[in-house]
């Protein structure tokens, strides 16, 4: 029984990652790459500072990745993915607005 489950899972993942590559898939991968890059940027900035920091580029990568993935989800008509990326996009826009308002008030 376990062997059957493992065989079924391996066949599923094999077909998933060896299927045809089209423009929509590439757009989704670019969005996921942007979204993943934000964690690397945040980690590197925190290591350099010796404390946890969230650089401005983190929010731009978050917004870019979320927007591209939202477009991908809309094209794929995936309601779970659409809801998840929609909220994130709003949150990232709000964080950027707050950061720019703060910088303006500080005269930067």
- The pLDDT score that the predictor gives to residue 63 is 93
Q: Is residue 41 part of a domain?
A: yes
pLDDT of 32-78, one tens digit each? 999 889 989 999 999 999 998 999 999 999 999 999 999 999 999 99
Residue 15 lies in a domain: no
**Whole domain around residue 66: which residue ranges?**
21-107
85 and 70 in contact (C-beta within 8 Å)?
yes
CA distance 22 to 77: 17
Through-space distance between the first and last CA atoms of the chain, rounded to whole angstroms:
64
7 lies in a domain? no
In a domain, 49, yes or no: yes
Mean pLDDT, the chain, as a whole number?
90
Sequence-distant (6+) residues with CB within 8 A of 57 are 38, 41
């Amino acid at each position: 029984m376990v062997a059957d489950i493992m065989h079924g899972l391996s066949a599923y993942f094999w077909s998933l990652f060896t299927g045809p590559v089209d423009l929509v898939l590439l757009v989704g991968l670019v969005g996921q790459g942007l979204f993943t890059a934000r964690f690397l940027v945040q980690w590197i900035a925190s290591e350099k500072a010796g404390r946890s920091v969230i650089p401005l580029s983190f929010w731009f990568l978050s917004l870019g990745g979320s927007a591209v993935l939202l477009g991908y989800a809309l094209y794929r008509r995936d309601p779970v993915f659409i809801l998840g990326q929609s909220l994130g996009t709003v949150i990232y826009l709000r964080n950027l607005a707050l950061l720019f308002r703060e910088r303006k008030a500080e005269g930067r």
